[in-house]
Structure 1
Amino acid sequence: MKILLVDGTVLGRKTGAILEEIQGYIEQFDGTLDLELVRFSDYEHQIVDGRPFDQYNTGMQELVRKLESADGYIFATPIFQGSIPGVLKNTLDFLNPKALRYKPVSIVANGGTHQHHLVVENQFKPILDYFRALVTPNYVYTHTSHFDDQNNIIDENVHERLQELARVFVKYCELSANLPKQPLD
């Protein structure tokens, strides 16, 4: 299974640092999964404006094709101004509505206040529900205080929660493998 660890921002390093930790935990539970870290900062983003898909730059076309062809996802997002970043929402707007159907998805997020974890519940999960993704019930929200100056996670409870998220995600991958997928039209 091709699993994308998606760093859904073009700024900062904390979400990428979280994904690097999760990658190690997933590999401990299932070394057969093909994991790829996808950083939005590696792509030149364009706004979805209704033009034909082939008129967008090659970077956006590559990113969308990569997302649509994967078998599962760990999405990492910072919380800015009480919301997911526009670049993440814009990229999701490119996707075919069937692209994530019955595919396992886990969410990790990072924010500057402890209350911003509600963005995952009230904003990001409903978007993934629209796609009918298999969203794991446990997500991990981190706060700036969980990191040192080099963006290493220093909170043991966060490590435990990331490990548990990885364990559940691997089980969702097993479940997803037996569910029929619909072709993208």
Structure 2
Amino acid sequence: MRFRFCWDVDCPDWLLAEITTLSKLYDVVTKLAKDAKLDEQGAKAVVAAVRWVLESAAGAGVTANVLDSELQQLGLPKEHAAAITKVYTEHQEALQAHLKGASLKVRGETTWSCEVVGVDIGDGDLSPVVKLNLHDESQSVREGEEQESGTKTNVTSIAMTPDQLQAMIHELTEARQLMEGLH
């Protein structure tokens, strides 16, 4: 059976196996929310906040000690920060692996091409526009055919003015310098 929340494909087996656990967790969260006098929206907000903290910490690669300290600096009581940090410590590697697998990436052979084209801005005048093309050749398996595969080339184009190109180059250079400073 296909589900829209699964991008219109079958529900993954691992999720099917965890539905019972998820149901139990929901009951626990509901009970805790009632004990803390939170309404349903408040309980959802708390779960979303904890998820965001854990994913952000894993994505930033912070240590458990840094996370604990920073949560306390934000005003979270020490025991609550310790509880979140404990979960983070236990699942940090799995979180980072998940985030790495879910991050934006291009599979297969990737090439760039660039061309300057003229765009009519009226009265017969042409203005230069830089067109960047990303050519991504990825292996794709045809639906229903597990053995046969073909190469599919996706082309993504970006058009910008020379000033926009210069601004992008400047911002990418700054981003690279920041990333290199993290290592």
TM-score, length of structure 2 as denominator length: 0.21
Larger Rg: 2
Comparing both chains, which one has the higher relative contact order based on Cα–Cα distances under 8 Å and sequence gaps of 6 or more? 1
- Greater fraction of residues in helix: 2
Greater fraction of residues in strand: 2
Q: TM-score w.r.t. structure 1 length? A: 0.21
